[in-house]
Structure 1
Amino acid sequence: MTRRATITTTHGDDERAARVAAALRPDNTDEMETTADGETVRTTIEREGTGGLHATVDDYVVNLRIADQLTDTTQS
């Protein structure tokens, strides 16, 4: 049975969300899809097992935090 998780985050404006999504896409596996729509980034992850899904979501959240920090143009 396929397991699925969808993570949706907002990033303040369209341009920043597009940059975050672009930064995340190279790390996506074949079971992942990342899109940007307005200020929202949405990633859907599908895995066969719960353990694999959990591990992939954990990795994704770390990558998301880094991508968000690196694309924050308000930081000095």
Structure 2
Amino acid sequence: MRRITIRTTHDEPERVARAVGPDNTPEMTTRSDDDRVVTTIERESTGGLRTTADDYVVNLTVADEVVQLSDRTDEHKP
């Protein structure tokens, strides 16, 4: 079994972790820890691990951008 843990820093780590969680496969766990999102991925092969990690990073990037945009939108509400 191959394993990787990815730790990234965010302004709203709980919201980002909740946003990416539904896309997790059974081999993945995601949680927030202080100002970080921590995701562990386990796969049988190195290639599978790399593919899953790549997909996760794309999803994480989008989730973080959406959270930031929603914060900006909330600031402009009356």
Distance 1:65 1:74 in 2: 17
Q: Which residue of 2 aligns with 1:39?
A: 35
Distance 1:70 1:39 in 2: 17
Measure how far apart 1:74 and its partner are.
4.2
Q: Which residue of 2 aligns with 1:54?
A: 50
2:4 partner SS: strand
Point out the structure with max Rg over C-alpha.
Answer: 2
Measure how far apart 1:38 and its partner are.
1.6
Bigger proportion of residues as helix:
2
Percent identity, please. 56
The root-mean-square deviation of aligned C-alpha atoms, in Å, is 1.4
TM-score (norm 2): 0.86
TM-score (norm 1): 0.89
Q: 1:24 aligns with which of 20, 26, 29?
A: 20
- Paired residues, what number? 72
Gaps of 5+ in 2: none
Q: Which residue of 2 aligns with 1:9?
A: 8
